[in-house]
Structure 1
Amino acid sequence: MLPSYQPVSREKKQFANCHLDPAFQTLTTPEKVTRLRGKLYFVLSCLVENQNRLVTRKQLIDECWGGNTFTGEKAVTHAICQLRKALKDLKIPVTITTLSKQGYVFTQIDLSTYSDFNTNNDNRISS
């Protein structure tokens, strides 16, 4: 059973080898600073804050789109897709797992046990 969801704080967050800066909405790795446009920063921030916890689509819509389900439903799917691509391109050892009909789980990858994390960053688990 996963720990319960926590509301997102607006403080800097660190994970893997990088950090998120809410003042500039940036993701910083040792090699690069990337500005996350639109709601991408807030979606990633919510996932990082709730690392190893289930984050439902409703929670993301409430946190990042102010509860606007009309805009939020398709936007969540699009944001997760864009984040997976960005994290993979930046070679950040994390994964966003889709739990079918439940939501998403953000986890760091232990590189000592998983040598090629870039081959499957689009994890989906059916219920």
Structure 2
Amino acid sequence: MNIQPVILVVEDEEDIAELLRFGLMRAGFAVTWVKNLADARSSVKKVLPDLIMLDWMLPDGQGIEWLHQLRGDERTRPLPIIMLTARAQESDKLKGLEGGADDYMTKPFSPKELVARINNVLRRSAPQHVAQVVEFFGCALNDDDHTLSQAGVVETLGNTEFKLLKFLLTHQNKTFSRTQLLDLVWGDHVYIEERTVDVHVLRLRKILQRFAIEAHLETIRGVGYRWRSAA
């Protein structure tokens, strides 16, 4: 079962929002829809989405100004953001992209192209949320059934171990603290102890032992964990 990325749609026009909701859910995304910036801020404060689809002109302000605020906040700076707006001037597009948008689309839009753009942005910014088979050291980590396989050996991973391994594999050679892993893998709205990360890393290591690759899941003393890509 794939992990559904959550898209926050910030759009005040109901017909467009409904079109977005239908197309995105059909493509396998979970959708949260808000009509204004106040509700968008409240939603992001409670839980970070995996991507924001942001209109420029909203009833209580300009999306571009909120974009600047998001990029200026350490918690929300890495959030993938696509602007979807009726403002089609080249100067507006440049302003949006230079202001921190990962992509910029104009209305009217093709739902298929929009889904492709979202997947491209997630592939760059948050590859752990893109359905795929990750291959490494002769192994394959499969989104469809949460299995890790190698030369006929197949192990089904629990949901948390799967998400943890996929995150590390898609961010190889980068060290993450326990707090960062809680935010990025479990979600920053989940309130659990940092010790929980150690428990799941231990479980994951036991699984990796079957494939003789557990040494690549490294503990960086005093910091956290990383996946080492070099053989």
TM-score (ref. length: structure 1): 0.70
Q: Which residue of structure 2 lines up, in the alignment, with residue 56 of structure 1?
A: 177
1:82 has 2:203 as partner: yes
TM-score (ref. length: structure 2): 0.41
Q: Which residue of structure 2 lines up, in the alignment, with residue 9 of structure 1?
A: 129
Which consecutive unaligned segments of at least 5 residues does structure 1 have?
A: 1-5, 111-127
Greater fraction of residues in helix:
2
Max Rg structure: 2
Give the counterpart letter for 1:82 in structure 2: R
Q: Could you tell me how far apart the structure 2 residues matched to 1:93 and 1:101 are?
A: 20
* Secondary structure, aligned partner of 2:216: strand
* Number of equivalenced pairs: 105
Q: Could you tell me how far apart the structure 2 residues matched to 1:49 and 1:105 are?
A: 11
1:18 has 2:149 as partner: no
Q: Could you tell me how far apart the structure 1 residues matched to 2:197 and 2:190 are?
A: 10
Q: Which residue of structure 1 lines up, in the alignment, with residue 218 of structure 2?
A: 97
Q: Which has the higher contact order (CA 8 A, sep 6+)?
A: 1
Q: Which residue of structure 2 lines up, in the alignment, with residue 121 of structure 1?
A: none
* 8 Å contact from structure 1 (residues 84, 95) kept in 2: no
Q: Which residue of structure 1 lines up, in the alignment, with residue 191 of structure 2?
A: 70
Q: Could you tell me how far apart the structure 1 residues matched to 2:144 and 2:196 are?
A: 23
* 8 Å contact from structure 2 (residues 146, 157) kept in 1: yes
Superposed displacement of residue 68, structure 1: 4.6
RMSD (CA atoms): 2.1
1:107 has 2:228 as partner: yes
Q: Could you tell me how far apart the structure 1 residues matched to 2:185 and 2:163 are?
A: 6
* 8 Å contact from structure 1 (residues 16, 93) kept in 2: no
Give the counterpart letter for 1:53 in structure 2: K
* Secondary structure, aligned partner of 2:140: strand
Query: Among the aligned pairs, what percent are the same residue?
Result: 26
4+ aligned runs moved over 3 Å, structure 1: none
Q: Could you tell me how far apart the structure 1 residues matched to 2:214 and 2:221 are?
A: 23
Q: Which residue of structure 1 lines up, in the alignment, with residue 35 of structure 2?
A: none
